[in-house]
Structure 1
Amino acid sequence: MANQLAVIGGDGGDPRLSMGEGQVPVPGPIRHRLHDPNVKIEEYFYYAKIQREQERSGLDPAERSRIANRLDSSSAGSEAAVSSDEKTDEKRPNLPRTATNIVTPAEWENASRAARNATWPSIVYLITTDILGPSNAPWAISQFGYVGGVMMYTFMGIMAFYAGWMIWRMFLKLDSDKYPMRTFGDMGFRIFGKETRHGMNILQSIQLLFNVGVIIIVNGQSLSQMSKFKLCFAICIFIWPICGAVVGQIRTLAKLGWIANFAIWLNVAWIFITIGVAAHSAPNYAASLASFGTPFGPIEHTVWIPSGSTFDSQLGAAMQIVYAYGGAMLYCEFMAEMRRPFDFIKAQFVAEIFIYVMYLMFGLVVYSQQGQFTYNPANQGLSPYSWQTVTNAINLVSGIIAAVLYGNIGIKVIYQNIVQDLMGGPELTTKAGKILWIGMVPIYWCLAFIIGSAVPQFTSVSSMVAATCIMQFTYTFPAILYVGIKVQEDAITPEERFDPATGQVYRIDTWKDLSRWKRGIFSKQWYLKTFNFIFFLASLTTAALGMYASGTGLREDFKSGHATSFSCKSPLET
């Protein structure tokens, strides 16, 4: 088999394309493309195990590179060099093996290793920044009561942590310097194939686009409230896509990093200001009446589910809790940048404990002050105009930061999967790629504007996003992916192995044989696979119910006139 790599094409950002002219290739084992469908899961397991042993030993990158090179040299076969890409990718033409399209093993691994610099305390901060958003907590608790709200936030938080644990375990088994795993779609590809990867990437793009749309709605409501509804609501929304289209021209997240770090402290300040004002002022009765139809009366609290809460509103509140815990979509990106991915679980535990405490503290305190008149987002349920303006101003700043970050990632996902992978477009770092980026940014923000203007109802839209997208990445996908990887792992017998010298996987049977399915499902930990499959079905059912409830809520909003497409009337206005 081959002991050289002739790179043919390549996926976006593939470091194997970075070799300069005149460099001479060094012997090494077969190298496949990053998304080569012919790479078996045993090969991913093999190199991931080596990777984890090196990380566990605390070796620095230079020493790890020397070990990897020795492993490559010792396993390289003496057979004629045949490019695996030439054999596995029939759609790409064969290219000659020149110095410009061949990469040494060390270069490939060092390019992957260069990004692994983050420590677990920094990942704590990233997870907190990504997930923390307690503005919907008081309203969600108002639909379940004190005990029901605490139980729901606790249960959903535990299951979100469990799903993160599964993502962490799968990452450790599949990621290596030879085959770095960067995205959630990469995980789906290695376990279930390219169709899964494409489906996850499409859903991720939809989620990011709707996240931007939801933020545009919130910022529009904030601005309309600040203007005392004198400014047309459509204009209040339109301002933010213009801002996003300008600021979104920044292509690299590193240039936005210090601004993004500032956003979390804005959120913390917003939380304590909202709590303090809610404790010393009356609720915003008009906003609650306009959006939820809550009649005026004395403030009430319930221990269990209140009498005015319906099945649809409870499902909507559950989706708000899902929305609050959403963030697992980016876990693979976080782990891909860690020196020791083993430590991710510590970071997740610390971050989610902090997030859980903040959610419950904020939700319970504001609900205790405002009862059935709690609003979503919570700060717009404050009655003093001065404090509405202060908290709305904070929302505007943190919101546009978040929207630009989501938009940046969303456009990159679309660019890589459509412009590069499907259309064969240029790299984003090239002049042509930069020109395409300039054109894509305003189009992306125009789509987000259409979402925000066509459906200007924050609670129903965010519930729909949670049910359609966030529920899948946080609960549904991790459960079924874990079942898939465990079935494939447990089907491997001691006689079966991956041979790094030839790049071949030796199996005693195939997935066409019932014997392999029996081993995969029943030989080890069948109870864990059963639990996760039930978890998958339950999550899928909950998502379907959530989509139904949020869809019903949107229909009622339009029927009652609380939300009107492309209108000058604000959803907060009576």
Structure 2
Amino acid sequence: MTQDEEERANASRALRLASWASVFYLITTDILGPFNAPFAISQVGWVPGISFRRFTILGVLALYTGLILWRLFVRLDSLKYPLKTYGDMAERIFGKIARHVCTVLQSLQLLVNVATICLSNGQALSQITKGKLCFIVCIVIWAILGMVIGQIRTLKNFGWLANSAVWINLIIIFISMGFVAHSPPNYASALSSLNVPQGPVVTEKFAHLPLFSQVFAYGGAMIFPEIVNCSVSSVHLTYIEDNQMAEMRRPMDFWKGMTLAQALIFTAYLLYGAFVYAFQGQFTLPLAYQGVSKFSWQTVGNVLSLVTGIIAAGLYGNIGIKVVYINVVEDWMKGPRLMTFKGRVIWSLMVCGYWALAFVIGAAIPQIQTITGLIAAIAIMQFTYTFPPLLRLGYDVITDAMGSDELYSPGKGASCRIDTWRDWSRWKRGLFGGRWYFKLFNLGMALGGLVMACLGMWGAGESIKEVFANSAAATSFGCKAPV
């Protein structure tokens, strides 16, 4: 091993400090915050929203894809050739183009997630000040705070923050459920944000909304990476999972943290979404805790959410910047390692630029339900339902095709035949050898995820168009808040 290779190995070991319990808290911090779940159900109705189609089946599939990434990671990672990002895994199986696609989509996804949290925290601060503080200033405040928190470089240092965020989110869930049960909906915010006039609360078995609104709800509930794939959620988990495995002491234990997080999150999303929709119906807001009419109760939820929101944004920003640093600064520009002094200086500058760009995105589209739906369809869906089964399919084809390759035969020396990728015999072994039905299932699942993503992009685009056509909606870089 050369000196440079040894330094890489030592650096890799130094970064792998997270335990499976840390993974549980980090995943739960990323996902637990089911405040879009009631809105997602309101967009499609009881039956599609709570049925197997929305929660159970998609939750099981999200767990399945997370386990795919875990198995691929432990089989492909090594100290000499470590897997640092999702793109590294894609490159091992499909080549450099696949890595670049993953890197671009990851960076876009995480950047917009940070922008969304700046936007939601800006809305909360605007409600707290009763609109007396210009909305654009409310967003700027959180962007600046994010630049400070973003100076943390390793996920291990987010451990205690992630721990506290989980419990604060649980407090918000239970408190807001109590508030919703004892107060009418926030009619003024529903009119401003959703253009829904005041009237009796109505819930429906099947929502009678335009198709694009229902497609948006489906693609938009994927911001919470695993269960509520109807609003903005599930898929980000897959990248968070891959990155956390890269910082674990024992990656084989990763499944423990993920499974426990899945169980907690599934229960919270299902119960919270159904409870709030039952009381608020068509007036349910994209952030449910902002939907109570009593100001003091709004403020309690908003203040607590400000804390958890900035922690989650710091986590997203940490991983997003790390993707850019590893792929651009270290690999492309041959710059210093992240944990060096020069790396610290570059990291600090990148953090400031990253959060500034997130501010611009959040302020340009000041509607949470539309911006999250768009990024869910473009990137989040791919990392949960399209890419993992494709990666497993590619891995299985490659390993099965290698079954008859012989590099050395005892007694015969090194004279052995190796098929090339142009030989049909190699493709035949790869495609039809081993468990062909498992490969067919993964291919079908990947194609299904791609189809849903395309529908989501169309629906999100139509939703953005409709929101900006609404005279009551907030405008880009303006002082008027959407709530």
Q: Confirm or deny a common fold (TM above 0.5).
A: yes
Aligned partners of 2:20 and 2:162: how far apart in 1?
A: 18
Tell me the equivalent position of 1:306. 207
Tell me the SS of whatever aligns to 1:360: helix
Matches within 5 A, 1:257-276: 257-276=159-178
Assess, with a 3 A threshold, how the Cα gap between structure 1 residues 506 and 270 changes in structure 2: closer, same or farther. Answer: farther
Instruction: Work out whether residues 239 and 383 of structure 2, in 8 Å CA contact, stay in contact via their aligned partners in 1.
Output: yes
Tell me the SS of whatever aligns to 1:323: coil
Tell me the SS of whatever aligns to 1:555: helix
- Tell me by how many angstroms 1:178 deviates: 3.8
Assess, with a 3 A threshold, how the Cα gap between structure 1 residues 261 and 505 changes in structure 2: closer, same or farther. Answer: farther
More deviation in 130-139 or 270-279? 130-139
Instruction: Work out whether residues 207 and 469 of structure 1, in 8 Å CA contact, stay in contact via their aligned partners in 2.
Output: yes
Aligned partners of 1:563 and 1:143: how far apart in 2?
A: 21
- Tell me by how many angstroms 1:554 deviates: 0.9
Tell me the equivalent position of 1:568. 479
Instruction: Work out whether residues 389 and 446 of structure 2, in 8 Å CA contact, stay in contact via their aligned partners in 1.
Output: yes
- Tell me by how many angstroms 1:113 deviates: 5.3
More deviation in 319-328 or 268-277? 319-328
Aligned partners of 1:255 and 1:296: how far apart in 2?
A: 47
- Tell me by how many angstroms 1:378 deviates: 0.4
Assess, with a 3 A threshold, how the Cα gap between structure 1 residues 384 and 534 changes in structure 2: closer, same or farther. Answer: same
**Letter of the aligned partner of 1:306 in structure 2?**
A
Tell me the equivalent position of 1:146. 46
Instruction: Work out whether residues 219 and 237 of structure 1, in 8 Å CA contact, stay in contact via their aligned partners in 2.
Output: yes
Assess, with a 3 A threshold, how the Cα gap between structure 1 residues 452 and 113 changes in structure 2: closer, same or farther. Answer: closer
Assess, with a 3 A threshold, how the Cα gap between structure 1 residues 252 and 170 changes in structure 2: closer, same or farther. Answer: closer
Aligned partners of 1:435 and 1:168: how far apart in 2?
A: 33
Deviation >4 Å, runs of 4+:
110-119, 337-340, 504-507
Relative to its length, the structure with more helix (as a share) is: 2
Matches within 5 A, 1:542-557: 542-557=452-467
| Structure 1 gaps, min length 5 | 19-107
Q: Deviations over 1:496-519 (max 9, x none)?
A: 3589xxxx9976211111111111
Assess, with a 3 A threshold, how the Cα gap between structure 1 residues 229 and 117 changes in structure 2: closer, same or farther. Answer: closer
Instruction: Work out whether residues 184 and 330 of structure 1, in 8 Å CA contact, stay in contact via their aligned partners in 2.
Output: no
Tell me the equivalent position of 2:280. 370
Instruction: Work out whether residues 142 and 372 of structure 1, in 8 Å CA contact, stay in contact via their aligned partners in 2.
Output: yes
Instruction: Work out whether residues 480 and 533 of structure 1, in 8 Å CA contact, stay in contact via their aligned partners in 2.
Output: yes
**Letter of the aligned partner of 2:23 in structure 1?**
I
Tell me the equivalent position of 1:277. 179
Aligned partners of 1:233 and 1:393: how far apart in 2?
A: 16
Q: Percent identity?
A: 50
Alignment of 1:354 with 2:264, yes or no, is: yes
Assess, with a 3 A threshold, how the Cα gap between structure 1 residues 495 and 418 changes in structure 2: closer, same or farther. Answer: closer
Tell me the equivalent position of 1:90. none
Q: Deviations over 1:113-132 (max 9, x none)?
A: 56656554443333222222
Q: Of the candidates 450, 454, 467, which is equivalent to residue 377 of structure 2?
A: 467
Tell me the equivalent position of 2:231. none
Matches within 5 A, 1:44-443: 108=9, 112=12, 118-151=18-51, 152-302=54-204, 304-307=205-208, 309-325=209-225, 326=234, 327-443=237-353
Aligned partners of 1:6 and 1:120: how far apart in 2?
A: 32
Q: Of the candidates 410, 423, 427, which is equivalent to residue 517 of structure 1?
A: 427
Instruction: Work out whether residues 153 and 321 of structure 1, in 8 Å CA contact, stay in contact via their aligned partners in 2.
Output: no
- Tell me by how many angstroms 1:267 deviates: 0.6
Assess, with a 3 A threshold, how the Cα gap between structure 1 residues 311 and 475 changes in structure 2: closer, same or farther. Answer: same
Tell me the SS of whatever aligns to 2:222: helix
Instruction: Work out whether residues 18 and 249 of structure 2, in 8 Å CA contact, stay in contact via their aligned partners in 1.
Output: yes
- Tell me by how many angstroms 1:338 deviates: 4.2
Tell me the equivalent position of 1:559. 469
Instruction: Work out whether residues 112 and 178 of structure 1, in 8 Å CA contact, stay in contact via their aligned partners in 2.
Output: no
Instruction: Work out whether residues 25 and 159 of structure 2, in 8 Å CA contact, stay in contact via their aligned partners in 1.
Output: no
Aligned partners of 2:251 and 2:348: how far apart in 1?
A: 35
Alignment of 1:483 with 2:398, yes or no, is: no
Q: Deviations over 1:198-217 (max 9, x none)?
A: 22122111111111100011
Q: Deviations over 1:80-123 (max 9, x none)?
A: xxxxxxxxxxxxxxxxxxxxxxxxxxxx4x76556656554443
Aligned partners of 1:371 and 1:472: how far apart in 2?
A: 31
Aligned partners of 2:11 and 2:359: how far apart in 1?
A: 38
- Work out which of the two has the higher radius of gyration on C-alpha atoms and give 1 or 2: 1
**Letter of the aligned partner of 1:436 in structure 2?**
I
Q: Deviations over 1:316-371 (max 9, x none)?
A: 11123322223110222333344544443343222212111110010011111111
Instruction: Work out whether residues 299 and 373 of structure 1, in 8 Å CA contact, stay in contact via their aligned partners in 2.
Output: yes
| Structure 2 gaps, min length 5 | 226-233
**Letter of the aligned partner of 2:348 in structure 1?**
I
Tell me the SS of whatever aligns to 2:45: helix
Q: Deviations over 1:139-179 (max 9, x none)?
A: 11112222221121222211101111211222232123443
**Letter of the aligned partner of 1:414 in structure 2?**
V
Matches within 5 A, 1:445-464: 445-464=355-374
Instruction: Work out whether residues 156 and 321 of structure 1, in 8 Å CA contact, stay in contact via their aligned partners in 2.
Output: no
Tell me the SS of whatever aligns to 1:135: coil
Aligned partners of 1:498 and 1:436: how far apart in 2?
A: 48
- Tell me by how many angstroms 1:435 deviates: 2.5
- Higher RCO (CA 8 Å, separation ≥ 6 residues): 2
Instruction: Work out whether residues 153 and 318 of structure 2, in 8 Å CA contact, stay in contact via their aligned partners in 1.
Output: yes
**Letter of the aligned partner of 1:407 in structure 2?**
G
- Tell me by how many angstroms 1:312 deviates: 1.2
More deviation in 377-386 or 148-157? 148-157
Assess, with a 3 A threshold, how the Cα gap between structure 1 residues 243 and 348 changes in structure 2: closer, same or farther. Answer: closer
CA RMSD in angstroms comes to: 2.3
